Structure 1
Amino acid sequence: MSKSTIQKLPASLLVCLSLMAPQSPLQAEGQTHHYDHVKLHSSASAEVENDTLIAVLYAQKEGSDPGSLTDSVNRLFSQAVSEAKGREGIKVQTLGYQTSPIYRQQSLTGWRVRQSIRLQSTHSDRLSKLLNQLQSTLALDSISYAISPAQREKVEESLTLQAIEAFRKRADLVTKQFGRNAYRLVEISIQASDRPVQPLRMRANMMALEGASAAPTLAAGSQTLRIEATGTIELQLDR
């Protein structure tokens, strides 16, 4: 293979060549070397609108009587869960229940009881109105947006086809540039790569909006979904 042939490859092409010299007799026995192998990488991405709103709220009480505190939190949660389950298109999940001691100057001064609830919906307007109502009794811990499983699967399926097609075109290009007639696919790995949106933690003075008359204004935003294909091809010798 001449240097002029290699120089014809596009500079933007991500190619790692492994064209190895014949094995030396001094090399350890049992080693397997692969000749004319080329590592390739391709990807496809798309900007996808977040279509699922997720909110976490909690009830927390402090005092000297754990039993009384538990009853109070349970009543608040019973009302909240009942109200949320009565709304169409909203998923409800109760989270961790915690009872913890409160110490001041190494002395036990009371107890803290806390329980959280997770609400999720693809109807952000409905959930926004519910949040406005629940915040009269519960505190808002975090809000985040995500891509629904159905939407993610649909987009990733399309991106997978695009990434594979890009890989095949790149493999064809490399094969022709090296003067070979064909290549053999040795291995390929296809995986999704994206950064989930982190929940937005609410400041303490924004947690309780008791008496608020309007639902919170929320912006869904978007995420970049990416499918990456990384593999190895073997350039076939002319026949």
Structure 2
Amino acid sequence: MYLSCAKIHLHQTLFEETVVPAPGSRWKLTEHPHCSSLPDRPLEKIMSAFSLRLATVLLLASTALTAMAETPTYQRVDFSTEVAREIANDQLNATLSIELSDKNPGRLAQQLTLAINDALKKSDAYPTVKASSGNQQSWPIYGSTITSSSKLESWRGRSEIRLESRDFKAAGELIGLLQEKLQLNGISFSVAPDTRQKLEDTLTTEAIDNFRTRADTIRKAWNAKNFKLVQMGIGTAGGNMPQPVMMRASKVMDAESAPSPTFAGGETRLTINVSGSIELQP
């Protein structure tokens, strides 16, 4: 018996039955239209090739399972170590702002811009303090009567300047100077990025050394000859958020009545955690 197609489709038959045969009769097979161009091959050869491929797949799967079963496994131990250190906050961040009102929104925006530009110009005298303009916004002010006919009375606007410095003394002097026209909204302290990175590198080395020492202690306790590292993870905690100094927005003061503030940045606790798994080898 010959078939007109060399490929056997598992999800789409190559031959179709015409009718359900009566008992004792044979199936009538018709050639699939997509296989008319392929050379005829005996059904026995097609089935033989299919069986051979199936046997090969089963043999490979059996070999892989046997290899996995023969792979030796040892006692696995999970544990972690950590190193922590207090570090001084060496960066100050402050925000000052000004609020003004005017009936003309264009004139209001101009007044706010002039005030911030003046503050930035004064900041140039303090090279160790980084100053930058912050948010600026304006909103309408309506009459006090809550009716549909309430009229627009004026506009009010707010603009900010932001300071960043490691020189607390210079920052304090500049803040005192700017408070002649601006309001102090808040101050926060944090660890500078480069300072934090250097400490993280040091603590990471210490934490890994502690992990290795702990692993050897576990090996000795179990009378194992050796151990190997399976996996390791390193995490960092602390020192992410600036430490705020809570205060109300201070009122604008005269230069003589506004002494330069003295700041103490406080400390931040930085922690490096090393966790992982080892396998003990007898």
TM-score when normalising by structure 1? 0.78
Of 103, 109, 114, the residue aligned with 1:70 is 109
Deviations 1:105-158 (A, max 9, x none): 475543221121111111110110000000111111110111122221221111
Shift of 1:198: 3.2
**2:124 equivalent to 1:85:** yes
- Counterpart residue identity of residue 243, structure 2: Q
**2:89 equivalent to 1:50:** yes
Look up the SS of the partner of 2:243 in the other structure. Answer: coil
- Cα distance in 1 for partners of 2:124, 2:94 equals 15
Aligned residue runs from structure 1 range 1-239, under 5 A:
36-102=75-141, 105=146, 107=150, 108-195=152-239, 196-204=241-249, 206-211=250-255, 212-236=257-281, 238=282
- Cα distance in 1 for partners of 2:219, 2:140 equals 69
Q: CA RMSD in A?
A: 2.1
Look up the SS of the partner of 2:203 in the other structure. Answer: helix
- Counterpart residue identity of residue 274, structure 2: A
Look up the SS of the partner of 1:179 in the other structure. Answer: coil
- Cα distance in 1 for partners of 2:156, 2:243 equals 27
Gaps of 5+ in 1: 1-33
- Cα distance in 1 for partners of 2:252, 2:265 equals 22
Shift of 1:75: 0.8
Contact in 1 for aligned 2:112/2:157 (Cα 8 Å): yes
Gaps of 5+ in 2: 1-72
Contact in 2 for aligned 1:51/1:220 (Cα 8 Å): yes
Larger Rg: 2
Contact in 1 for aligned 2:168/2:262 (Cα 8 Å): no
Counterparts in 2 of 1:207 and 1:232: CA distance versus 1, 3 Å: farther
Q: Percentage identity across aligned positions? A: 33
- Cα distance in 2 for partners of 1:100, 1:201 equals 27
Deviations 1:217-239 (A, max 9, x none): 22111111111111122222x2x
- Counterpart residue identity of residue 46, structure 1: R
- Cα distance in 2 for partners of 1:228, 1:102 equals 54
- Cα distance in 1 for partners of 2:244, 2:165 equals 15
Which residue in 2 is equivalent to 1:17? none
- Cα distance in 1 for partners of 2:231, 2:180 equals 57
Look up the SS of the partner of 1:199 in the other structure. Answer: strand
Shift of 1:207: 4.2
- Cα distance in 2 for partners of 1:182, 1:101 equals 75
- Cα distance in 2 for partners of 1:82, 1:96 equals 18
Deviations 1:160-209 (A, max 9, x none): 111111111111111221221222111111122104333224314x2433
- Cα distance in 2 for partners of 1:121, 1:132 equals 15
- Cα distance in 2 for partners of 1:222, 1:188 equals 30
Kindly indicate whether structure 1 or structure 2 has the higher relative contact order, using CA contacts under 8 Å at least 6 residues apart: 1
Look up the SS of the partner of 2:217 in the other structure. Answer: helix
TM-score when normalising by structure 2? 0.66
Which residue in 1 is equivalent to 2:38? none
- Cα distance in 2 for partners of 1:207, 1:228 equals 45
Deviations 1:59-84 (A, max 9, x none): 22133321121111111101101111
